[in-house]
Each structure stands twice: as structure tokens, then as C-alpha cells.
Amino acid sequence: MKSEKLKEFEYIFNPKAVAVIGASQTDDFTQAMMSTKMKDNLFLVNPNRKDLVGKKCYASILDIEDEIDYAVVAVPASLVPKLLSECIEKGVKAAHVFSAGFSETGLEERKRLENEVKEVAKGRIRLIGPNCMGIYCPKSGLSFVPDAPTEEGSVGVISQSGTFAEQFSTIGKMRNIRFSKTISYGNAIDLDCPDFLEYLADDPETKVIALYMEGARDGKRLKSELGKAARKKPVVALKGGVTKHGSRAASSHTGALAGSPETWRSLFKQAGVVQVDNFDELLDATLALSCSPLPSGKGVSIITNSGGFSVIETDSCVKAGLEVPEFGEGTMRELRKIVPTAGTSIGNPLDAWPIYYNTRSVSGTISDATKLVALDKNIHSLVVHFDELRYLSRVFGETLEGRLKELVDLMLNGCEYVRDEIGKPVMICVSLEAYSEDEEDRRYHLMVKKAFESKRFPVYSSLNASIKALFSLYRYRTRLR
């Protein structure tokens, strides 16, 4: 049985036909929807054009013969009231106002204009915005992100900021996040963050909710909806404007009121929401929550072929709030049998580079080491590190590609056992520098990344990111209690 909000919002996320008012050659909406399944139910409105991107262009939404249930209004702010009235006349059920230049400017006449829009819409049409990007829903093809995945996924995103929503979808795609719905809600003069929270909480297609907000009109309702949602599925939140200066910036960005950092921290905590510190942490935590089991404790083991970093990364784990305990004696004994002594470190972190080269013998492989470590009762989760391609390349020589595949198969074998049989989370780190221009190096790293992604492991380009994401899993777990 569907909840009220699910029924009510059906035409917002899954409209049958969409009009873009103020369509142009380059607007995000037209661009995006021309490559989704919405293409054939997309209608473009622009009085100055006969056609656009091979489609007929209407002078007014009223000229369209088909029924339209959803409109994107992308015209100068001053024209919004008039065009919105036309949408109402046409029988459109929900409109997304992309246009900026309202209360967020801080100017009195712009606030008045925003109120005018509100009055026009009240009780006649549901509004998303203004000053936002609207809705991206791969299932229906409604979209504002030309580069977003067309496949459906399980992550629901609610963002006050449009750029944020767009980048979350685009960069999320590179990090193997797939979305059920992304919502950019801007100045929220009608539908607001709590409405979308209520919807996503009940949405069976959404398994994890990622939230970016800069302020709230109704703190009480927000808290209540956050709490309700967090009892149903993981909610990760980033609050922009938590500092004094940030809050000033937020008020000029979306016109939102912002409380003190402490207020927000306690609000999220009480609601059972995992609060993160920045954009990357939000992506990284969302990825982990969308595909990993939760750790039953703080004990992490790091398995690496790059010992120089294991010390720093142990520090990072502990600073993050996790632990890197010693292995039990049995584990140590077993590990000693398979890892050579020189230049390695039998212990946690497991700096065991020689086993990364052992892809062809029956025992003493990275798979064996991974399983051994994960069976240790002090260890509740693993971070498995792929690095040092240059050394692997040196040792494997011309057979590099084949041997890497063998290595990755062994790593996967161990990691799948740990996740699927033992039920402990495994975070994968495939180290890659943003500015690296070594194309071969990039190609191999991406090959390894994708191998792990194809088995639904969360993969990160830095150990720090893996560790922080793991800590978010742990925090979610402890909040459930």
C-alpha cells in the first residue's frame, strides 16, 4: 500500500509529459531529457523559436495539445508569475521554477516577486524552487543532469543547492553511485526538504538518503521527518553554513535561515542522522551505505602493499574514531606461515607486499591473508588497498595485465568471502591521483576499480576516504541501537 506522499508525488517524479518553458539550445533540462526516455514526452516552449534540437517549439504552454503534468519554468524571474498562471490554466500539476533572482538576492523587490509567485501557485499547483535544478529521476527520464547515469539506483538525494545536486549526481556516477531520485529544492516556497524526506522515506526504490541543506523554515517538522526517515533507512546529511561566515554565505545563496552548529549537530544526532563534513564525505558515506554491510565494532584491519603509509593510515583510523587492534595470536601464527619476513610487517596494518605478487600458487595468496585477517575476532571490518602499480609492473613485466587480473581475482575472492560469508564490510582503496597523466597507470587502476565495483564493493581513490566512509558505516550502526 502506497503512502499519501507516494501517491501525491507520483506526477512529480514520474510525470507522463514534461514542458520546458524557456527552452534553449543549451539549457540543462532540454539537454538532459533529450537523452532519456522522456524525450518523446518532452515539449519545448519558447516564443522566439520555431524549433529546437529537432523538436517543435511552442510559443506558449497553452498551445500544446497533449496533457502536461509537469513543467520546468526557466525564464527571467519577472516573467515567472505570468507563465506559472499559464501552467495552472493548462492543468499542470507541478512546476519546477529554475529561475533565480528572488529572495536569495537579499533585495526587497525580489522578495516581493517571490511572494507574488507563491500567491499565484497557492492551492493551484505544487512548486519546486525557485532557484534550483528540480528533479532527476532515471526511472521516468525526468532530468536536469546531462551527464547523469540513465540506469536506476537506490540513492535518493535532497539538496537545497542546484550545483550541489548536479555535481553529486555527476561525480557520484564516477564513483559508482546510482540514483533513485535527486531533488534540488532551492528557495522552497512550497515543497520543502521535509516533504521530500517524507517521500523518500517511503519510496521503495530509495535505500539511502543523502541530504544537503543550508537552512530550514520549520525546524520542528524537519527534525520529525528526519527522525522518521532515519528509522526506515540510512540518512546522511551535510549542513552548509554551520560556521558564522558560512551561514552568512548560505543566507545569500538560497535565502535560508541557519541555526548554530550545535543546534544542527544535536538535531541530526537526535534524529539518528549521520552528519558529515563536506561534499566528498557525503558521497563516500552514501556509497558505502548503499552497498556494504555494517561493522559490528570499531576494529579495522588494513591490508596493504604500501607499508610506508600503514602507520599514517592507522593514525587516520584512530583519529576518525575507529581502532586498529592487534591480531589474536592464532591469526599471527597463521599469517607468519604465508608472509615472508624481510620488509614486511606481520601485524595490523598488514604490510604484506610479497603476497600481492603471489598470484599463481595454491596457498599464501592475498585471498588467504584477507580471509585469515577477517576471521580474527578483534577485526570488524577491512580496508583492502591496491597501490604500488609501478612495483607490480616491474616484477610482472610484460605479463602485467594478465597477472593483475589474477591478483584482482584473488583479492575479490577473499573480499567476497569476507563480506558475503562472514558478513564484515570491506572497503576498497584503489589509489589514484587526480592529476596523474600516466595513461597506462590510470588505465590499470580504473580496471581494478571497475572489477571491484562490478561486485558491488565501495571503492575509494584514497585511504583516508575509505576510512572516513567506514566510520560513517560504524556511526550509522551505532545510531541504530
Residues between 113 and 142 with contacts to a second copy, criterion CB under 8 A: 131
Residue 400 CB, nearest distance to a second copy (Å)?
13
Integer angstrom CA distances of residue 121 from 56, 92, 105, 116: 28, 11, 21, 9
Instruction: Map the footprint of a second copy across residues 327-356, applying CB under 8 A.
Output: 341-343, 345-349, 351
- What is the per-residue DSSP string for 414-449? HHHIIIIII---EEEEE---TT---HHHHHHHHHHH
Nearest to 382 by CA among 292, 456, 311, 446: 292
Buried b (16+ CB within 10 A) or exposed e, 454-471: eeebbbbbbbbbbbbbbb
Residue 405 CB, nearest distance to a second copy (Å)?
19
Residue 390 CB, nearest distance to a second copy (Å)?
7
Instruction: Map the footprint of a second copy across residues 197-236, applying CB under 8 A.
Output: 214
Among 88, 118, 146, 205, the residue binding a second copy under the rule CB under 8 A is 146
Among 190, 195, 280, 284, the residue binding a second copy under the rule CB under 8 A is 280
Among 13, 309, 386, 476, the residue binding a second copy under the rule CB under 8 A is 309
Residue 1 CB, nearest distance to a second copy (Å)?
37
Binding of a second copy by 163 (CB under 8 A): yes
Rounded CA-CA distance 163/181 in Å is: 16
Residue 158 CA from chain centroid, whole number: 10
Residue 277 CB, nearest distance to a second copy (Å)?
8
Binding of a second copy by 165 (CB under 8 A): yes
Nearest to 71 by CA among 93, 49, 40, 89: 93
Looking at residue 65, its amino acid is E
Rounded CA-CA distance 72/455 in Å is: 38
C-alpha cell at 345: 610487517
With CB under 8 A as the rule, give the number of residues binding a second copy: 85
Binding of a second copy by 238 (CB under 8 A): yes
Instruction: Map the footprint of a second copy across residues 356-415, applying CB under 8 A.
Output: 388, 390, 394-395
Residue 137 CB, nearest distance to a second copy (Å)?
20
Site string for a second copy, 449-478 (x = CB under 8 A): x-----------xx-x--------------
Dihedral in degrees, nearest 10, Cα atoms 137, 138, 140, 143: 60
Instruction: Map the footprint of a second copy across residues 17-36, applying CB under 8 A.
Output: 26, 31
- What is the per-residue DSSP string for 345-383? B-SSSEE-HHHHH--SSSSS-HHHHHHHHHHSTT--EEE
Binding of a second copy by 316 (CB under 8 A): yes
Instruction: Map the footprint of a second copy across residues 58-97, applying CB under 8 A.
Output: 76-77
Binding of a second copy by 105 (CB under 8 A): yes
Residue 393 CB, nearest distance to a second copy (Å)?
10
Question: Cβ(276)–Cβ(472) under 8 Å?
Answer: yes
Looking at residue 344, its amino acid is T
Among 38, 242, 289, 383, the residue binding a second copy under the rule CB under 8 A is 242
Binding of a second copy by 434 (CB under 8 A): yes
Between 9 and 212, whose beta carbon lies closer to a second copy? 212
Select the span of 195-203, 266-274, 322-330, 367-375 touching a second copy (CB under 8 A): 322-330
Rounded CA-CA distance 53/34 in Å is: 8
Binding of a second copy by 177 (CB under 8 A): no
Among 2, 82, 231, 319, the residue binding a second copy under the rule CB under 8 A is 319
Question: Cβ(13)–Cβ(152) under 8 Å?
Answer: no
Q: What is the DSSP letter of 34?
A: T
Residue 101 CB, nearest distance to a second copy (Å)?
4
Question: Cβ(159)–Cβ(182) under 8 Å?
Answer: yes
Residues 6 or more apart whose Cβ sits within 8 Å of residue 423: 293
Between 279 and 417, whose beta carbon lies closer to a second copy? 279
